């Protein structure tokens, strides 16, 4: 039997002492800003004015912005890269090749990674399916379960604040004849257990509710939802891309039947994810992709061994360091919220302070446009709460679902704090936020009217 030994990794203390940023980026000791001349700075789907401002800054030899957008993606942990490198160079066999050592060694690494993913969520390795990411896992779960049980049940329940891939999958199911209930959430972003119970019928096949919201960080009552679904014999799927590796997750304690996982949300590589599918009681899923029948026939295609190894390593590290990461991120998140809200008036915290992942902070700054604030903060990589594209400036549907006024939804900023975020970076961001919000408000006629005691909502605006 050919046995493969994992490569040795750099000690954890080494990385913590260095406070290492993403490869190629060096943090200064003063402001914590990162220095580079890489022009590829932000999401290409973001506001083009912000892209232009960042591009102009780097072309003139400016500094690369510091990174506070951990909900969008996280940097690859260097220790994860250590584990991946041998499978990008020396051990390149197809893990599904059963006739030679190249396949055996890759298969062994793949199965080790499968176990590392399973261990993090309390599952059996046989219940883990490798995918390309949470979007694919969500599509397989929502469409696959609904279609398999269509002859018996044709009702799906989800919430209005789910990720777009879940909402779009549900809309596609509606086009195929399914009935879908989109549950509202309360003003803090949590689903009502009473409304969920009332929405269930004998025809309900699946409930899909995300664990941690990607915009406002709200954590749903997973234990209660799982118990209710199990008592009604309804399958429970959760998009846990923002939760796995960050908060404790146990599929058996929470009665979760399907769970979507993303590698790049927990300091692993992009392009890989996983889907947990319960075996007992068995969940049947109709594949949405045809091919060679890999991954229990649920997801055909060659598993990319280096990416699977990276996901496994990231899950193992996250399990080992969850307590440390939680303390570190909670402290920085509290510092950001408390300092900003105590220094600036009329700042609204979006979400539920009692049930929110501390690394996702969503604040609305009244009388300030979120896009204007992002443009002013060229040296900090942030996201607006508005779902802005070059063609649309519609406010975030998540913020509208929790009852935020349109003007406040447009004025929101999401701060993403992660494992490698430093105190210096948070301090610098706080300083810049306070300064720029104050400056923009001084330029705002709405802020001036508010200070003069005018009720802006009572004004009837006219077009010319």
Give the integer Cα–Cα distance in Å for 365 and 368.
6
Instruction: Report whether 70 contacts 416 (CB < 8 A).
Output: yes
* Backbone CA torsion sign across 150, 152, 154, 155: negative
* Backbone CA torsion sign across 100, 103, 105, 108: negative
H or E, element range at 74: none
Q: Which listed residue (165, 229, 315, 388) is catalytic?
A: 388
CA neighbours within 13 Å on the CB side: how many for 66? Answer: 26
Helices 101-121 and 305-343 meet at what angle, rounded to 10?
30
Report DSSP letters for 411-427, one per residue.
Answer: TEEEEE--TT--HHHHH
Parallel, antiparallel, or unpaired for β 34-35 and 26-27? antiparallel
Q: Is 229 a catalytic residue?
A: no
What lies within 8 Å, CB to CB, of 312 at 6+ separation is 83, 112, 113, 114, 115, 116, 117
Structure tokens of 447?
């802020």
Structure tokens of 337?
């919220």
Which residues on neighbouring strands pair with residue 383, listed in sequence order? Answer: 414
Residues in the chain: 464
Structure tokens of 21?
């940023």
Task: Count CB atoms within 10 A of the CB of residue 17.
Answer: 9
Give the angle subtended at the CA of 330 by the CAs of 329 and 334, to the nearest 5°: 115
Catalytic residues: 388
């Amino acid at each position: 039997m050919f046995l493969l030994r994992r490569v040795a990794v750099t000690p954890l203390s080494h990385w913590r002492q260095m406070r290492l940023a993403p490869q190629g980026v060096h943090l200064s000791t003063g402001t914590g800003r990162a220095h580079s001349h890489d022009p590829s700075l932000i999401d290409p789907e973001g506001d083009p004015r912000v892209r232009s401002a960042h591009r102009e800054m780097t072309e003139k030899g400016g500094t690369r912005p510091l990174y506070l957008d951990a909900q969008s993606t996280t940097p690859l942990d260097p220790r994860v890269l250590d584990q991946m490198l041998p499978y990008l160079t020396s051990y390149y066999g197809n893990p599904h090749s059963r006739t030679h050592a190249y396949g055996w060694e890759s298969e062994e690494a793949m199965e080790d990674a499968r176990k590392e993913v399973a261990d993090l969520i309390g599952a059996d390795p046989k219940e883990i399916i490798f995918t390309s990411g949470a979007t694919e896992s969500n599509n397989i779960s929502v469409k696959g379960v609904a279609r398999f049980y269509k002859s018996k049940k044709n009702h799906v329940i989800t919430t209005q604040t789910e990720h777009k891939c879940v909402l779009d999958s549900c809309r596609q199911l509606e086009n195929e004849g399914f009935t879908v209930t989109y549950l509202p959430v309360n003003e803090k972003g949590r689903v009502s257990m009473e409304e969920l119970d009332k929405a269930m019928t004998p025809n309900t096949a699946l409930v899909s509710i995300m664990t941690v919201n990607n915009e406002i960080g709200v954590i749903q009552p997973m234990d209660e939802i799982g118990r209710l679904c199990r008592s009604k014999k309804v399958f429970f799927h959760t998009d846990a891309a923002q939760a796995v590796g960050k908060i404790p997750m146990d599929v058996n304690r929470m009665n979760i039947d399907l769970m979507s996982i993303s590698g790049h949300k927990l300091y692993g590589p992009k392009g890989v994810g996983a889907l947990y599918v319960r075996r007992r009681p068995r969940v049947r899923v109709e594949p949405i992709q045809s091919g060679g029948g890999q991954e229990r026939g649920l997801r055909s295609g060659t598993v990319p061994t280096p990416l699977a190894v990276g996901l496994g390593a990231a899950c193992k590290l996250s399990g080992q360091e969850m307590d440390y990461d939680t303390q570190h991120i909670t402290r920085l998140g509290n510092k950001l919220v408390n300092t900003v809200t105590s220094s600036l008036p009329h700042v609204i915290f979006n979400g539920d302070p009692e049930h929110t992942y501390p690394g996702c902070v969503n604040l609305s700054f009244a009388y300030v446009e979120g896009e204007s604030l992002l443009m002013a903060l060229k040296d900090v990589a942030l996201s607006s709460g508005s779902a802005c594209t070059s063609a649309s400036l519609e406010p975030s549907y998540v913020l509208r679902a929790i009852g935020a006024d349109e003007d406040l939804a447009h004025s929101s900023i999401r701060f993403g704090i992660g494992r490698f975020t430093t105190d210096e970076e948070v301090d610098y961001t706080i300083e810049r936020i306070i300064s720029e919000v104050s400056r923009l408000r001084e330029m705002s006629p709405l802020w001036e009217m508010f200070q003069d005691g005018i009720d802006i909502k009572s004004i009837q605006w006219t077009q010319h």
